[in-house]
Homo-oligomer: A and B are copies of this chain.
Amino acid sequence: MSRWAIGIDLGGTAIKAAIVGEKSGIVTHRTVPTDTASGSTGIVVQLAGIIADLYHVASETLDLSDCAGIGLGAPGAVNADTGTLSYPPNLPGWSVVPLRDNLQQCLMQQKGLAIPVFIDNDANAAALGEALYGAGREFRDFFMVTLGTGVGGGIILNRKLYRGANGTAGEVGFMIIDFEGSSVHTGIRGTLESLIGKKGIVALARRMIDASPSGSSVARFCGDDYTKLSPRFLEHAAKEGDEVSLAVWNRVASILGVGLANVVTLMDIRKFVIGGGISAAGDIIFVPALDQLRRSTLPSMHDGLELVPALLGNKAGMYGAAALCFG
């Protein structure tokens, strides 16, 4: 027996879906733009179509009786037990949707497919993906941080997802490290995401560029238009040696290190897998973040501290979603 599943990463921009063999990894995958305009009903239909297509592809080379299910990673608060998705930030107009049951029903009624659906939030799915197929394979316990538009987190304890009693554990983006600070995110002051989410990084860079007498070579990457400033441009400029951009990343890394210190202090987790687009800055972030992490924790907590880059890139969500079915 060689189990396989369909793993789907439902994002606000794109749906990524793959056939994943439990042992062999991704067999084939596709990416389609999310039909956000059609609301939750339309997206369920869209998902069912992609699944039916992949299921058909799978039928040509795989044993359908080995299919472990459909795994779905979704943005927002997911209750893995009840299968509901609540207020996904990047899917406008959704409130609380019984996404798992709706999708199972749609697959049955429109495609004649009776396949179990498993659902979790995207950060948890990414953590599970790295745990089973990526950078977390060697760690029994680790914390996965996704640095992107937002700052997400997923917790692996004893090689399993730690979801907490209500499924909301790991929301490191909402951890408060500057409770009297000026940055605010969804009404909460001084959260990690308000400081080093994409918007926070850009705002920080603007302030640091404005304060720099000699300016920054990042201007060239933006075509001298700072409204186009992005983490990617700051990464390029830093890698060219631009001092202001390097200082920005140093500061971002330092703030990240403080946030991770709280994970170490509270949960005694000492391994961190860092993914998401912004982690592409690499050692420019990793080295100072680990330095700060050590400065912000007790010496008795330093043994075994490690920050490693995620290995699965934008495939972690598909891998992890499929892994939800193999549990």
Q: How far is the CA of A77 from the CA of B301 in the complex (A)?
A: 10
A166 touches B268 (CB 8 A): yes
Tell me whether A326 is interfacial, beta carbon within 8 Å. Answer: no
Ranked nearest first, the 5 interchain pairs of A and B with the lowest CB-CB distance are A164-B268, A169-B268, A179-B258, A77-B300, A174-B265
Are B166 and A303 neighbours in the complex by a CB distance under 8 Å?
A: yes
Other-chain residue from B180, B265, B300 in contact with A175 (beta carbon distance below 8 A): B265
Closest CB-CB distance, A61 to chain B, in whole Å? 40
Question: Per-residue CB proximity of A240-276 to B under 8 Å, as 1/0?
Answer: 0000000000000001001001110111111000000
CB of B300 within 8 A of CB of A87, answer: yes
A178 contacts partner chain B, Cβ-Cβ < 8 Å:
yes
**B-contact bits for A286-313, CB 8 A (1 contact / 0 none):** 0000000001111011011000000000
A177 nearest CB neighbor, chain B only: B179
Map CB proximity to B onto A147-182 as digits: 1 under 8 Å, 0 otherwise: 000000100000000011111111110111111110
Interface size on A, residues (CB 8 A): 48
A108 within 8 A of B: no
Residues 66-94 of A at the B interface (beta carbon under 8 Å): 77, 86-87
Decide yes or no: A174 and B270 within 8 Å by CB, A166-B303, A179-B255, A255-B179 being known contacts. Answer: no
Total copies of the chain: 2
Closest to A140 in B: B165
Complexed CA–CA distance, A166 and B271 (Å) = 12
0/1 per residue, A122-164, Cβ < 8 Å to B? 0000000000000000001100000000000100000000011
Provided the pairs A87-B300, A298-B174, A301-B168 are in contact, do residues A266 and B262 lie with their beta carbons within 8 angstroms? yes
Q: Are B174's CB and A177's CB within 8 A? A: no
Distance A268 CA – B163 CA, assembled complex (angstroms): 8
Q: Confirm or deny: A188 has a beta carbon within 8 angstroms of a beta carbon on chain B.
A: yes
Closest to A261 in B: B176
Decide if A266 touches B265 in the complex (CB within 8 Å): no
CB distance from A277 to the nearest CB of B (A): 23
A31 to chain B, nearest CB (A): 29
CB distance from A37 to the nearest CB of B (A): 25
A300 CA to B301 CA, complexed, in Å: 32
